[in-house]
Each structure stands twice: as structure tokens, then as C-alpha cells.
Structure 1
Amino acid sequence: MRAMTDHPATDDIIGIGFGPANLSLAIALRDAMGDGPPRTSLRFIERQDRFGWHRAMMLPGADMQISFVKDLVSLRDPTSPFSFLNYLHVKGRLSTFLNLKTFNPSRVEYNDYLAWAADHFSDVVAYGETVEAVRPEIRDGRLAAFVVEARDGAGTRRLRRCRHLVVAAGGDPAIPAPFAAHAQDRRLIHSSWYLPGIAQALGAPRLDGPEPRILVVGGGQSAVEIVTDLGARYPRALVDLAIRGPALKPADDSPFVNEIFDPAAVDRIHGAPAPVRAELIAAHRATNYAVVDADLIQDFYATLYEQTVSGVTRYRLRRSTRVVALEPASEGLRATLRDDVAGTEERQSYAAVICATGYQRAAVPAILDPVRPFMAGETADRHYRLPLERAEPRVSLHLQGFSEPTHGLTETLLSILPVRAGAIAQTILEEERAARAAIRSAAAAP
């Protein structure tokens, strides 16, 4: 293993993570700097070896749940060359896409759009590096800069230095008890690595041998998409879907409710008293959490109905059911499932267990722990900036995707990426302009 470099490279801005959030920021910064000074240097660090957005859930037939108009730029600048419409134009598919008469492209096509946009910034992205910690650089007792420690695939540790840091590292897979104890078992799969995980656990589909029984846990969109995909991918598989509630619930995407995803909703939520803010977010949870598109519910219900006609049961919806124990067995993983309504428990072995249980996010990512002595709190301001104390004026720390309790449900979604990115870009550049003006004034003083 090579040693850490002694003299870290310096950039004005470093972004940790290069998914849609920081990609949108890169575009916003490029646009803002196009208007004139300051010219700032930027760098992004991404642990994947190439750009990819939820690659493990690129399922056949899966469409986006938001309009293509909510792309990386259009809500901020609909004339931008980075819009989804311009992507279609460049790719020669604009007219044929319009013939589809849809606002919702396939997930595969949207990932291709994001990768196309990311290619424009390949010179400022360090792919294949995992950030291990962010440490303070201290000058005269004040926070003067951030030093970002990362490690590449070869084990080389790298240091980079910046004054402005934007963390958009995404959430961690939520694997609840009792699954967490078996997180290293290849037969336990989280939806975030579904496609490679299921191939590793079950291999290629077979036309002979025993029928594999698979358990999917979760009551949201990903869970039902995975159940549907498993049935098509493994034609002999028997698939159970365990949900904690009594029924699969449809996502509420009616117009008035959908206004919670408008940029103006962030101002309304952020400006509300804390108890009211929490009530507003809770009241709209049915737009995003543990809900399924109505069309997909209809299709799954029809599949279950057809089973009653044919007499062949491949899918089971296990309602009001929790997995209370899980243990390895020679034939797979043995789950103890409790039916809370009937008050009964059943033990069943599965060739694979899939957790479609979402993601979890700390208020402040653990990689920032070394910087905590300089934080004045864990709550980001309206412009997604964490408050710092004993810091030089030219230093700022922003978070993307970690402020749902204060900024609302859009925080972890794609809905207002360009507006949020624009706010962060303007905040950073205004700080740079002010700091550079102060330096020039000090230098000119007698």
C-alpha cells in the first residue's frame, strides 16, 4: 500500500459524490462562472469507477416516476444545453421520443441522459476513489480549509484540499434487524445491489431442478418492481412479498399534493415552526415512502387474480407480516415470519431474501466527524450550508440529500436538483467574490 501524499492538491470547491445532485451542481457552477469572475477550480470525488445512477435497479420496463422536465437544469434554466430535450436532440431521438406521448422516460434512458451530461465533466471527476474522512486544516486556531482523504482501488491514499466542500454522498442501505446480522451472506440482498446480487445468489435461470423460493421484504415501489422482475427473470421461482401493512398503498400524485415537490414548497417548509414543519412532511409521506404507482399495483393485483383462475401459485402477498428471525440454512436462509393479524408464526426457507427497505441518512455524514469541533450545529440553513464557527470567511460546508427534516421531501429526490444546485453555487461564488474583494482591499491599503 502506498503512503499518503505529503502535499495535497488544492481546489476552491470539492464535491464528495458525483451522482445527479453534484452533477447538477457542476452544471450550475459552470453556468454561474460563465457570467464572469470569480473563476474557481472544482473537483468531484466518486467511489464508482464510472458514472452510474442506480445501475442495480435498471429493470426492463421500469419508467421514471417524475417528468423529464425535472431534469438536471430545466427548472433553473430551460434553455440550457444540458436539458433532457437537448440530450434527445443530440442523440437523434427527439421526434421518436415525442411519438411515445409520455413525460416519463425509461429508467435506462434517464441513466443514459445523466451519463451523457456527466461526460462533459470527466476532466474534474476522480472516479474509483472512496472518501474516508474530511479533516480540518487549522490556521491560528481557525478552520482555514478542508483536507479530504480518499483511497483509490489500488489502495493509494490521496489528499485533496479545498475551501468549499459539498457533500452529496447519498444514503446508506437500510438493512433492519434481524437482517443486519447476515449482511455479509450473499443470499441476503439489498435493492441497491439487486441485479448483481441476485445473479450471484441464484445464478442463471434453470429449466430443471427445484423451484427456488425467494422472499422480498418491503411495501414500496422497488419491492413490487423486484417481485415482478424475479418472476420474469426466473420463470420457475416462487416469490413471497412480505409487507408490514394490510395492503399495498398507491402513491399520491394528485396535483395539489404534488405541489410539495415544487421549489416554492422548500421555502414554505423551511420557514415553518419546527412542529408544523414535521407535520407537513408527515402529511405528505404517501407521495414517496412505502407507496407504489397505481398502475403497478393494478398489474400485480391482476397477476394474483390470474393465479386463482389457473390454480398455479407463484406469487404470495403476505400482508401484515414481519420477519422476526433469520438464520442461515443449507438450503438458503430460514425466516420466521409473524402474521400480526392472525398472531401466528411460520418458518420458511428461501434461496434468497431481498430487502427493499430503502436508505438511511445521518443528519451529518460520519466522514465529517473530524470537522465537528468547528460546527455550530447539525442543521443546514436555507441554502444547504452547515453553520461553522471559528472558520475563515472563505470556508463553507454544504450538504445535499441530508436535510429532509428542515427542507422537505424533495431533499432526497430528483425533483428540484437544479434549483438547489443553483442556490449552492450562488452562495459559494458570492462568498468567493466577497473574500477576494476583501483581500484586494487589504492589499491596496497603505
Structure 2
Amino acid sequence: MTVTTRSLAGDTETYDLIGVGFGPSNLALAIALEEAGSPLRVKFLEARPAFAWHPGMMIPGADMQISFLKDLVSQRNPQSRYTFINYLHEKGRMNAFINRKTFFPSRVEFNDYLKWAADQFDCCDYDRRVIAIEPDTSAGAVQNVEVTSCDADGREVRYRARNLVVAPGGRPAFPAVCKGLACTDRILHTHDYMRKLVPQLRPNARIAVVGGGQSAAEVFADLANRPQAPHVDLVMRADAMKPSDDSAFVNEIFAPEQTDAFHDLPEGARLSLLKDLAATNYAVVDEDLIDAIYTMLYEQAVTGEARLALRARTHVTGVSLRDEDVGLELQTRSGVETAYYDRVIFATGYTRDLDEHTLHGLMPFCATRTAGRDYRLVMKDGFDPAVFVQGFSETSHGLSDTLLSVLAQRSAEIAHSLCHLTDPEQAVAAE
């Protein structure tokens, strides 16, 4: 993989590939291309000023929910120098980690592993938020795409590429009732929890956490243990927190080979299976965290304290601002009430939409918005660049598409396709 320099105003290089985003998905692709000996000229563009993976949820004590063996490369090439095990070796923590007797590193440690891997590549331009991707029609048929990025100071930098891979991650999702009010100092998403809410937390603050999944539970538990002793309500539609199903047989759905089986199913069968398996990933909580929260509430009942509350069977039907407060209109089985808080944090997941993301300018050239088995969008005649997407194909490739579970295999498949496009003989090395 060849790296070249560029000017600030614009890059005169025509790259073989530009990657939008440099999170785990495109980082795994960079590794796959390097290990395949690819000669492709590659540039990744990342909006953040430096590598960071979910910095807003680096909650002290929070562990990963998948094995460290599902890292960037181990399932494809366990002898790679980019494995989590080699990271431990180079950091001098191998024996100490073994002594912990766990497959699940802390989230902080796994982020450090990802950053360690990312720091070994100089093919990423940071502080480059992609704001537009347009076809280059100067030659008639579209042979290249032009990518426009913007830095923190508002300066635009333009790039050109023969192929594209898009992996910007999801965007924080808010309920429709938050329209026009979200992402203020008082109404936040868990995406910004550690960066925006925790530093501003005041003693005895009134906080509402809205959601019934893992992120909501983690934030609730963390706030409960903060020295500022905030009053915290956990607001959820469900009757109770539901445990995630991480049993061995169910976890086989996240195996890389299951992608083929899922993709080959009829659309109706795929949607039905996604619904059946939702308990592995959506609106569910690790059982040990459920137990910890239950214990918190039980001990509170013993002492007579009323600082923490679980408001189940409660639907947020309205959001308003009043002076320094946030009002939540809450629909319960007994009626409607309005509760006021200093801060409200929504743990309501992420959205992934190709049209509203940076591919908007290419949508007229897309024959379909669903990627093929090789994660490549089908484009109309006259559009030559290959456009790959990572993390947008859950309905066609399975639950693991937005997770870390298939990083190693998916990146290898995309690397193979890219090598074949530019040099069929080189593609053999990427297998």
C-alpha cells in the first residue's frame, strides 16, 4: 500500500482507493491490504483529529461484550502483527492479562489496542470530515469520484479516487419528539456521555436516561456511582431490563461463514431471522450489569434513599425546555405526566442511511441501495468506480454487519475485490 503526500488546498494525486472514515472497519481493511502486499495507492479520511473509538462511552470499568479474539485480524490471520495478543506482548502486559482469566478486555484497553494499530499507518488524513462525494464527469463516463472534506477551521480539501469504501459509522439517533432540541447542553446522546455530561455534572443533579439497552444501563450504573450523587431515572418502554442472549449456539450467528447463509435467504426469511435474533444485540443488557443495578435499587430500598429509579413501562411522548430544565412528557399505564430534569441523555442507538450520509451525490448512479455479497454497490452503466460500504448491510448480510465480529473476514473480502479490480494476479495474494 503506497502513501503519497498532498497539498492542503487539494490533492493532485488520483488514488486507487479513498476510504471514508478510519474506525475499526477501515482500519481492518488497511491491515488486509498491507498483508496482501497490495500496491494500491490508498488514502483514508477521518473526521476526528486523532484516532478514537466511541470516546463518549469510555466508561471506567466497562468491558467489551465480545472476545478479544474477534479483533482486527485474528480470525483471518492469527499470525498477524496486528492481533490483540501481539498488542499485549508489545505493551508488556501479556502475563498480567492472562492472570485476569477473561476473554473480555475493558473498553478502554480495546480502544488503546485499536489506536496502537492505527498509529502504525500513515495513510490516514485526520481532521477531514467528508462533506461531499461527486462523480467526475470530465471524461464523459464516470471514471473517478471527487471527495471533498472539511477541517475543523472550515477549510476544504479535495481528493480524487478510482474506487471508494465508505465506513463512517452510525449517527446518534434521537426520538422524533426531540426534533430541533437534540444535541444541546441539556439533551444529549450516550455518544457524548463522557465528553459532555460527566465533566458538567453537578451535585444532586436530576438526570433522566432514556433507553432499555446496554448503553442506557451502563450510563445509569455509572451515574449512580458518581461522587456528585445525582438523582437518576432510567426511563424505558419495556416492563424490565432484558438479558442479552450470548449462549454458545446463538453466538454462532456471528461467525463469518454465517454471512453467506444469511445472504442467500429470501428477503422475508432474513427479516424474520433478524427479528428472532434481536435479543442478541438490541435493547438487551449483560446479565451481570442487570444484577448490579438490581442490587443498587434493593440497597436503596433498605436505606430508604430515593435517588435512583427505574421507570419501566414508560414512553417519552414529548420533550420541552423550561428555563434551565428539560421537561419529559411521560406516558404510563396510569396516564400522562411531565417530569423535569437538569439533563436528559438518550440511549436510543444509531442510524445508518446511505442517502443522508456522504453518498448523497452518487445516489443517481446507484442501481440499488443494497450492497452485493461482496459489499459493493451495484452502479448503473457508465459509472466505473467500485463503491464498497461497511456497516450498512444488516438486512442483507446479518446482525454482525454493524459489529466487530466480522471485521477480519469482511476486510479480506473487500481487499480481494479491490486487488482483482486493479490486478487480477495480485488478488490471489489477498485471499
Sort the TM-score into its range (normalised by shorter chain): over 0.9
The 1-side partners of 2:105 and 2:233 are apart by 29
Contact 1:163–1:396 (CA under 8 A) maintained in structure 2: yes
2:134 aligned with 1:144: no
TM-score by length of 1: 0.91
Query: Given residue 207 of structure 2, which amino acid in structure 1 is its aligned partner?
Result: I
TM-score by length of 2: 0.94
2:350 aligned with 1:351: no
Q: Provide closer, same or farther for how the CA distance between residues 436 and 283 of structure 1 changes in structure 2, counting only shifts above 3 A.
A: closer
Provide, for residues 259-317 of structure 1, a one-character-per-residue CA deviation record: whole Å limited to 9, x for no partner: 11111111111011111111111111110000000000011111111111111121111
**Where do 1:212-251 residues align within 5 Å?**
212-251=205-244
Aligned Cα RMSD in Å? 1.9
Query: Given residue 22 of structure 2, which amino acid in structure 1 is its aligned partner?
Result: F
Q: Provide closer, same or farther for how the CA distance between residues 62 and 355 of structure 1 changes in structure 2, counting only shifts above 3 A.
A: same
Query: Given residue 49 of structure 2, which amino acid in structure 1 is its aligned partner?
Result: D
| Displacement after TM superposition at 1:331 (Å) | 3.7
Residue 347 of structure 1 aligns to a residue in which SS? Answer: strand
Residue 158 of structure 2 aligns to a residue in which SS? Answer: strand
| Displacement after TM superposition at 1:124 (Å) | 0.9
Contact 2:366–2:379 (CA under 8 A) maintained in structure 1: yes
2:34 aligned with 1:30: yes
Contact 1:363–1:403 (CA under 8 A) maintained in structure 2: no
Contact 1:381–1:387 (CA under 8 A) maintained in structure 2: yes
Residue 228 of structure 1 aligns to a residue in which SS? Answer: helix
Number of residue pairs the alignment of both structures matches: 421
Pairing partner for 1:332 from 325, 346, 366: 325
The 1-side partners of 2:417 and 2:356 are apart by 21
Residue 72 of structure 2 aligns to a residue in which SS? Answer: coil
The 1-side partners of 2:223 and 2:10 are apart by 50
Counterpart position of 1:442: none
Contact 2:55–2:195 (CA under 8 A) maintained in structure 1: no
Query: Given residue 168 of structure 1, which amino acid in structure 2 is its aligned partner?
Result: A
| Displacement after TM superposition at 1:235 (Å) | 3.8
Pairing partner for 1:425 from 391, 409, 415: 415
Provide, for residues 216-240 of structure 1, a one-character-per-residue CA deviation record: whole Å limited to 9, x for no partner: 0000000010011112224421100
The 2-side partners of 1:430 and 1:391 are apart by 20
Percent of aligned positions that are identical: 45
Contact 1:384–1:398 (CA under 8 A) maintained in structure 2: yes
Q: Provide closer, same or farther for how the CA distance between residues 17 and 388 of structure 1 changes in structure 2, counting only shifts above 3 A.
A: same
Counterpart position of 2:381: 390
The 2-side partners of 1:136 and 1:435 are apart by 28
2:163 aligned with 1:164: yes
| Displacement after TM superposition at 1:375 (Å) | 1.4
| Structure 1 segments unaligned to the other structure (5+ residues) | 438-446
The 2-side partners of 1:383 and 1:184 are apart by 36
Provide, for residues 19-63 of structure 1, a one-character-per-residue CA deviation record: whole Å limited to 9, x for no partner: 000000000000112xxxx51110100000000001111111100
Residue 391 of structure 2 aligns to a residue in which SS? Answer: coil
**In terms of Rg, which structure is larger?**
1
Residue 214 of structure 1 aligns to a residue in which SS? Answer: strand
Contact 1:9–1:159 (CA under 8 A) maintained in structure 2: no
| Displacement after TM superposition at 1:372 (Å) | 2.0
Contact 1:141–1:390 (CA under 8 A) maintained in structure 2: no
Q: Provide closer, same or farther for how the CA distance between residues 268 and 363 of structure 1 changes in structure 2, counting only shifts above 3 A.
A: farther
The 2-side partners of 1:349 and 1:413 are apart by 35
The 2-side partners of 1:365 and 1:76 are apart by 33
Counterpart position of 2:358: 367
Provide, for residues 298-342 of structure 1, a one-character-per-residue CA deviation record: whole Å limited to 9, x for no partner: 111111111111111211110110111121112411111111x33
Residue 17 of structure 2 aligns to a residue in which SS? Answer: strand
Query: Given residue 217 of structure 2, which amino acid in structure 1 is its aligned partner?
Result: V
The 1-side partners of 2:299 and 2:11 are apart by 66
Counterpart position of 1:132: 131
Q: Provide closer, same or farther for how the CA distance between residues 397 and 365 of structure 1 changes in structure 2, counting only shifts above 3 A.
A: farther
The 10-residue stretch of structure 1 (421-430 or 225-234) with the greater mean CA deviation from structure 2: 225-234
| Displacement after TM superposition at 1:183 (Å) | 1.5
Provide, for residues 63-83 of structure 1, a one-character-per-residue CA deviation record: whole Å limited to 9, x for no partner: 000000000000110110100
Query: Given residue 408 of structure 1, which amino acid in structure 2 is its aligned partner?
Result: G
The 2-side partners of 1:293 and 1:221 are apart by 7
Query: Given residue 278 of structure 2, which amino acid in structure 1 is its aligned partner?
Result: R
Q: Provide closer, same or farther for how the CA distance between residues 195 and 436 of structure 1 changes in structure 2, counting only shifts above 3 A.
A: closer
| Displacement after TM superposition at 1:415 (Å) | 0.6
| Structure 2 segments unaligned to the other structure (5+ residues) | 1-6
Pairing partner for 1:381 from 363, 372, 376: 372
| Displacement after TM superposition at 1:180 (Å) | 2.6
Counterpart position of 1:318: 311
The 1-side partners of 2:11 and 2:98 are apart by 52
Contact 1:218–1:355 (CA under 8 A) maintained in structure 2: yes
Counterpart position of 2:154: 155
